[in-house]
Structure 1
Amino acid sequence: MPEQRRRFSAQFKAEAVQMVIETGKPIAEIAPDLGIHDGTLGSWVNAWRREHPDPDQHTGPVEAARVKEMEDELRRLRMENEFLK
């Protein structure tokens, strides 16, 4: 029977990436502590670095994830507001 894939929240991914970026520790050292495969964490870090080629020192992955969630909620609320008008 095939193994079911685990799903991780955006918050968990952002915190894991932030751990790698802020501590400077190798991905292979952090991944087992989080209970994930180092290839998975590596792909998350690479994706974040592609999206943020010039990282702003004030905005980490956790803050970026929070901002994205807030923007999504704002977009949804604006659509609901337009519908109610």
Structure 2
Amino acid sequence: MGATRRRFTEEYKEQAVTFVIDGGRSVAEVARNIGVHEMTLGKWVKKAKDEAGNSQLPDAVLDESERAELVRLRGEVKDANSTIAELQMQVEFAKKVATWFAKGKGGFKRS
């Protein structure tokens, strides 16, 4: 006998897709967290993106000032993400140093 195929409601699929698209999470991460195969969730996300792309009006093209602002904002986001990554590395390093000193390997002797 074959395994029973799971069925998901449209609301469940929409919520999972929202976690990926709006939540900025990867398909793999969300799939792991909700217990759905990565390929299944990937298909849901692709379908949602395709439907969203088809629903845009043809005259919804960006004008020159909007495009310039979009480029500027994307640059700001990229810079902010780089800063965040650097700060996260510094925090991890500080944690390692603190752990190292806490284990008494700091070379300082208490009197």
TM-score (norm 2): 0.47
Aligned-residue offset at 1:54: 6.8
C-alpha spacing 1:25/1:50, structure 2 compared with 1 (3 Å): same
Residue 46 (structure 1) aligns with: 46
Deviation sequence 1:39-79 (CA, Å, 0-9, x none): 000000000011111788xxxxxxxxxxxxxxxxxxxxxxx
Partner residue, 2:2:
2
For 1:1-85, list aligned pairs within 5 A: 1-53=1-53
Question: How far, CA to CA, are the matches of 2:15 and 2:55 in structure 1?
Answer: 16
* Identical amino acids, percent of aligned pairs: 39
* One-letter code aligned to 1:15: Q
CA distance in 2, matches of 1:24, 1:54: 22
AA at the equivalent of 1:28: A
Provide the alpha-carbon RMSD of the alignment: 1.7
Aligned residues: 56
Query: CA 1:55–1:26 in structure 2 vs 1: closer, same or farther (change >3 Å)?
Result: farther
Q: Distance in 2 between matches of 1:29 and 1:7?
A: 21
Long gaps (5+) in structure 1: 57-85
Bigger radius of gyration, 1 or 2? 2
Report which structure shows greater RCO (CA 8 Å, sep ≥6): 1
2:24 and 2:55 mapped to 1: Cα distance?
15
TM-score by length of 1: 0.61
